[in-house]
Amino acid sequence: MNKKADKTVNELYGGIRNQYNDARANGYRLHAYFLREQKIIISTLNTNPGVVLDIGCGSGLMAQPLIDKAALLLGLDFNEQACKTARSNSLNIIRGNAFSMPLETESVDNAYCCQFLNQQSHDDMMLLLSESHRILMPNGKIILIWRNGEAVIHKIAHTFYKFFDLLAGRPSFPMINHSMTSVEDYAHSVGFGTVRKEAIFPLLNWRTNKITNLASKFIGASFFLVLKRN
């Protein structure tokens, strides 16, 4: 399996890192969507989250509410410009890739990874989970949020944005679909247990643990999964 950072995606982000220092620099189209996903992540962590790692931290904006809460707040990203910006946003930055993290075994209490999986292959998704299990403390948790490529509302939004990106001459980012089942099954195989799993539509504050019901298939735009290291 490939253990190198995804240089192709890194180059695509290079264009937007130089333009923005807001949620758009992390690939978000709507700042409101970013804020809702940020709220989900922050509210899932306990009041004393210990050493926290933001995997694929981008500009470090997602982590801002944790600066005064975490015992140590770490950001990991391969993009050089992202690391510089995140450092200016008060994160302790490690430049490296998520598939072979330059961190000691059992050195992190909690981790999260938001909107990263959709740009990674199935093999790299498995590497991310394996590495996350290695660096987490026993009973440590990782929070994952990624796009549900099968949801009708996601397909509509993706088609809409892809069309307008083409007209505007903007690059198109990879959008690889990972089902909840595929991510959860591999997570269990490396030693994680599931704490919580939901289909969510942050803009409406909508969420359900009934992943396969009709509503999830229409408006479950993203998946939300909390795993605990056994």
Percent of the chain with pLDDT strictly greater than 70: 92
**127-146 mean pLDDT:** 98
Q: At what angle do helices 180-189 and 122-135 cross, to 10 degrees?
A: 40
| Segment 25-42, tens digit of pLDDT | 777 888 999 999 999 999
pLDDT tier for residue 83 given thresholds of 50, 70 and 90: very high
pLDDT tier for residue 1 given thresholds of 50, 70 and 90: very low
**141-169 mean pLDDT:** 91
- The predicted pLDDT at position 16 comes to 67
Contact predicate 146/178, CB 8 Å: yes
Amino acid at 48: N
Q: Can you read off the two tokens belonging to residue 59?
A: 């500009």
| Segment 43-53, tens digit of pLDDT | 999 888 999 99
- The predicted pLDDT at position 172 comes to 74
pLDDT tier for residue 92 given thresholds of 50, 70 and 90: very high
Phi, psi dihedral angles at 213 (to 5 degrees): -75, 175
- Of residues 95 and 47, the one with the higher pLDDT is 95
Contact predicate 24/83, CB 8 Å: no
Q: Can you read off the two tokens belonging to residue 146?
A: 């990624």
Bridge-based pairing of strands 92-95 and 222-229 is unpaired
> What is the set of domains in the chain, with CATH numbers?
7-229 (3.40.50.150)
Is the model's pLDDT at 123 over the cut of 60?
yes
